[in-house]
């Protein structure tokens, strides 16, 4: 069983992290081209937050070497594609960027 203070610390930390991620997603929606969130930002939490904001899933890919991954989503009510990229183990930082290849 986890100590109640440790549990509270983790819950509060995740709340602050989610606020930061949501602010980054809002900046992307407002026209920012790329935001590098840095190391140790959970890829799955970024995707969860984007989904909560109405971003729609397009594609998911990994390279298998260092478990780098790319998740393409579309901003709500637009054709703008965004890539969330990270590494599920060690490697590249978690980041979000507008996909300008179209």
Looking at the structure of the chain, the number of domains it has is 1
Residue 102 has pLDDT above 60, yes or no: no
3-class state of residue 91 by DSSP: coil
- Full domain range(s) for residue 71: 4-98
Cα 60 → chain centroid: 13
Instruction: Write out pLDDT tens, residues 66-99.
Output: 678 899 999 999 999 999 999 877 767 899 999 9
In this prediction, residues 1-30 reach a mean pLDDT of: 95
Report the predicted TM-score, pTM, of the whole model to 2 decimal places. Answer: 0.88
The whole-number pLDDT of residue 91 equals 66
pLDDT in tens, 46-60: 999 999 999 999 999
């Amino acid at each position: 069983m986890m100590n109640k203070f440790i549990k509270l610390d983790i819950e509060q930390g995740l709340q602050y992290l989610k606020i930061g991620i949501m602010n980054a997603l809002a900046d992307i929606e407002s026209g920012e081209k790329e935001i590098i969130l840095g190391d140790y930002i959970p890829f799955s939490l970024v995707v969860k937050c984007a989904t909560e904001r109405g971003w729609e899933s397009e594609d998911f890919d990994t390279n298998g070497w260092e478990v780098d991954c790319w998740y393409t989503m579309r901003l709500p009510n637009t054709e703008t594609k965004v890539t969330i990229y990270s590494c599920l183990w060690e490697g590249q930082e978690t980041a979000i960027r507008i996909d300008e290849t179209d």
